[in-house]
Amino acid sequence: MPIFPVIFLLMIRYSSEIKSALAAKGPIVALESTIIAHGLPRPKNLEVALEVQAVVRNHGATPATIAIIDGVINIGLEDAELELLANDNNVAKASIRDIPFHLTRGSSAATTVAATSHIARLANIQIFATGGLGGVHRGAEQTWDESADIHSLSSIPVIVVCAGAKSILDIPATLERLETYSVPIVGFQTSKFPGFYLADSGYALEHQLDTPEEIARLWKGQISAGITEKGLVVANPVINEMDPRLHSKLLEEGLNSASTNRVSGKDVTPFLLEYFHKNSNGESLRVNIEIIKANAQLAAEIAVHLSK
Ligand code: PSU
Ligand code: MN
């Protein structure tokens, strides 16, 4: 008996699809919702959210999109709930520390990588797919802006399939922090750390695996090694990357605009993504959609092997 018994009063609602998948111990892929509410422009965001779920199903797993709806943690969303996330201006962006506020206030929020990992763990879901990881922001030596995604990877055992870290970040600093926290990173069919819009961030990776099956085996190895409190970053490079010259130009302009407009805190990432979407003539959107779908597919394939 622990000295202080912990009573979890978990307010979680599972969709019927997820309930059956959990009961059958079938493969489940968690999907984050910040990307829907704050990462993609309307009306494409809703369309993409539905397509990404379809990709997971088509590759043999059940999609568990995670969000807080009216103060309740939802694992697996109905279409009407996805629509609310996609279109309602009152939907907040929730990291782990925001969750209790929404639960007690009865408000709705989209979950980040960190918050989605936390909730996935509560439901024993081992893997999830996103676009690009959060990380150390450029200028962090002044602002201390480092995404809670990094910390969640250091303390929550969930596989995160992503296209590396978002290229708007300080990539070498992000990689250093992941090393400090002992978070394993594996390149999927690449030895280069991907940079979200770009297939190669310019930084090398030590470890590469080439099949979903090998990644599933690596995860089981990680757990067997007693590393039960760390995530695993699976870095899946985008195939048709953005033109690197367009990328550099937009990044410079976007960072300038963020600083002129004094954007800070949790608004930085949505601001920069929106800057790209508004000024790239559809290119950033095309690449972002390709990334999310490819990551959803790979996560589903890994999940299928995990459940064998
Ligand atoms: N990947 C995308 N679009 C996004 C995000 C990831 O393609 O919008 C979101 C994720 O939810 C991630 C968040 O956790 O951006 C990082 O925000 P911050 O830098 O404020 O921690
Ligand atoms: Mn931040």
pLDDT digit string, tens, across residues 13-48: 999 999 999 999 999 999 999 999 999 999 999 999
Q: Is 32 a catalytic residue?
A: yes
Query: Averaged over 143-167, what is the pLDDT?
Result: 96
List the structure tokens of 105: 């206030």
CA distance 5 to 7: 6
* Most ligand 1 atoms within 8 A of CB, residue of 91, 93, 113 to mutate: 113
| pTM score of the predicted model | 0.95
- The CATH class, in words, for 3-306 is alpha beta
Residue ranges per structural domain of the chain = 3-306
From residue 242, alpha-carbon distances to 80, 163, 258 in Å are: 33, 13, 21
Nearest-atom index, ligand 1, CA of 145? 19
Query: Over the stretch 233-291, which tens digit does the pLDDT of each residue have?
Result: 999 999 999 999 999 999 999 999 999 999 999 999 999 999 999 999 999 999 999 99
Nearest-atom index, ligand 1, CA of 32? 11
Give the confidence band of 11 by pLDDT, cuts at 50, 70, 90.
confident
Distance 197 CA to ligand 1 centre (A): 13
Burial class (CB in 10 A: 0-12, 13-18, 19+), 244: middle
Q: Is the torsion defined by CA of 193, 194, 200, 203 positive or negative?
A: negative
CA distance 133 to 40: 15
Q: Is the torsion defined by CA of 263, 266, 272, 278 positive or negative?
A: negative
pLDDT higher than 80, residue 9: no
pLDDT higher than 70, residue 102: yes
Catalytic residue from among 81, 93, 146, 166: 166
Query: Over the stretch 114-147, which tens digit does the pLDDT of each residue have?
Result: 999 999 999 999 999 999 999 999 999 999 999 9
Query: Averaged over 184-200, what is the pLDDT?
Result: 98
- Ligand 1 pocket: which residues have CB below 6 Å? 32, 34-35, 38-39, 112-113, 130-132, 134, 147-149, 266, 269, 273, 288
In sequence order, the 6+-apart residues with CB closer than 8 A to the CB of 290 are 238, 239, 240
Mean pLDDT of the chain: 95
Number of the ligand closest to the Cα of 145: 2
Residue with tokens 């399939």: 161
Q: CB-side exposure of 157: number of CA atoms within 13 Å?
A: 15
